[in-house]
Amino acid sequence: MIKLFKVKEKQRELAANSNGKPPVKKQSAGELRLHKDVSELNLPKTCSISFPDGKDDLMNFEVTIRPDEGYYLGGAFVFSFQIAPIYPHEAPKVKCKTKVYHPNIDLEGNVCLNILREDWKPVLNINTIIYGLYHLFTEPNHEDPLNPDAASVLRDNPKLFESNVRRAMIGGYVGQTFFPRCI
């Protein structure tokens, strides 16, 4: 009897819809805002965005950054973005999927970027975050580290830091840590 009720309910729902198709899922305010952000992206030529789960899942995507200057020149670094339904009232969760020797990115891929934490404001958008990530590669910051070892080398011996970055990017060890090739 319950199954018959569900079928009748579905038939009424379809009949109420003039085109005979099931109703379209209503988008959350976060999805609507994200759709706007993505449609207005103005990425540097060194950055690209992809949707591994297809365009139906806008709330999870990847950004690839290929710095064209600085220590990380020639590398390709992939970041995953997870957007909460309450976006933009909560900052996106961003992780670096590429293991990288960097003072502001730890070996688990956590990113130290102020606009993803204490300085997040709803007026900021995805474009702002991508430019912030790009900036981490052109000007790494030893004063706000997630990887204190890389930060101290950058601060105390920039030439050694540059050598360590190159070794990591071509695929090799820096100290006891192995980095897969990303160049």
112 is catalytic: yes
Which residue carries 């806008």 as its tokens? 58
CB 181 within 8 A of CB 169: yes
Measured between alpha carbons, how far is 177 from 175 in angstroms, rounded to an integer?
6
- The letter for the amino acid at 97 is K
Residues 6+ apart with CB under 8 A from 129: 81, 92, 94, 113, 115, 116
Q: Give me the catalytic one of 47, 96, 112, 182.
A: 112
Measured between alpha carbons, how far is 148 from 103 in angstroms, rounded to an integer?
6
CB 145 within 8 A of CB 161: no
Q: Which two tokens stand for residue 65?
A: 């950054």
Q: What are the C-alpha distances in Å from 87 to residues 32, 48, 64, 135? A: 9, 21, 22, 23
Catalytically annotated residues: 112
